[in-house]
Structure 1
Amino acid sequence: MSAVQAFALLPLPELHTLSQDQVRGTTCVWDGVGLSPEIAVDLGERKLRRVDGRVSWFPRACRRCALERAMHALVEHSQSCEQCVDDQNVCALGAGLVRAVREARRSNV
């Protein structure tokens, strides 16, 4: 599992609670901070059901929030995953979350 795939599994705030800028990906989906290419993290495509069909949106986050959420997901997952307890390299989700943490941390200065 890639970092992008792991980011796509992180839970997001409810769409109706987000500003237009958060939905468009110009601000962080969690804290509303303005995003530049240097700090933006792609959280993967999300699909929504609508009366007239499905709609895709592409949320983004700042590196700080992406790192916090990925770390939290990694800790939660690794505590309950038997494979991760034995060897984290065996579990695709655990390995993907480690990649997500590294990706978010990479330029988090």
Structure 2
Amino acid sequence: MQTVAMDLLPLPPADGLTAEQRRGAACVWDGRHSALTATTAIDLGEHPAGDGTTLFLRACKSCTQRRAMDALQHHSATCEPCLIDHTQCQAGLELVRLVRDTRR
């Protein structure tokens, strides 16, 4: 998993998520993909919720790609190494890989 890249993706507030979203059965962003599988979902990792529970967040590829593209554009505009060569920055490199991986 691209841990640096995942940290740059904005997640919705935990208290607004459905039970399906909280356990990774539905896309964390749009909630529509209730049939996410290991091959169709992007694992966003475990996240502690304010109520003491742990969220197991996943997302569909299309939503993840949109968020990753936004994060990449924002990050690369403010990161000097990315302006020269994104492969010299761990976050830039991981975001580019995440965008590419979500195209498949």
SS of the residue 1:64 aligns to: helix
**Identical-residue share of aligned pairs (%):** 45
Task: State the 1:55 CA deviation.
Answer: 4.2
Contact 1:29–1:59 (Cα < 8 Å) also in 2 = yes
Greater RCO (CA < 8 Å, at least 6 residues apart) = 1
Distance across 2 between alignment mates of 1:63 and 1:44: 15
Match of 1:76 among 74, 77, 81: 74
Contact 2:6–2:44 (Cα < 8 Å) also in 1 = yes
Q: How does 1:80-99 map onto structure 2 within 5 Å? A: 80-99=78-97
**Against the structure 1 CA distance between its residues 39 and 4, is the aligned structure 2 distance closer, same or farther, given a 3 Å change threshold?**
farther
Which residues of structure 1 form unaligned runs of 5+? Answer: none
SS of the residue 1:94 aligns to: helix
In structure 2, the partner of 1:11 is 10
Contact 1:3–1:103 (Cα < 8 Å) also in 2 = no
Which residues of structure 2 form unaligned runs of 5+? Answer: none
**Against the structure 1 CA distance between its residues 105 and 7, is the aligned structure 2 distance closer, same or farther, given a 3 Å change threshold?**
farther
SS of the residue 1:57 aligns to: strand
In structure 2, the partner of 1:46 is 47
Following TM superposition, the consecutive aligned residue runs of length 4 or more in structure 1 with deviations greater than 2 angstroms are: 2-5, 47-50, 54-57
SS of the residue 2:59 aligns to: strand
Aligned length: 102
Contact 1:3–1:100 (Cα < 8 Å) also in 2 = yes
Name the TM-score, length of structure 1 as normaliser: 0.82
Task: State the 1:56 CA deviation.
Answer: 3.1
Distance across 2 between alignment mates of 1:10 and 1:45: 14
Task: State the 1:103 CA deviation.
Answer: 1.6
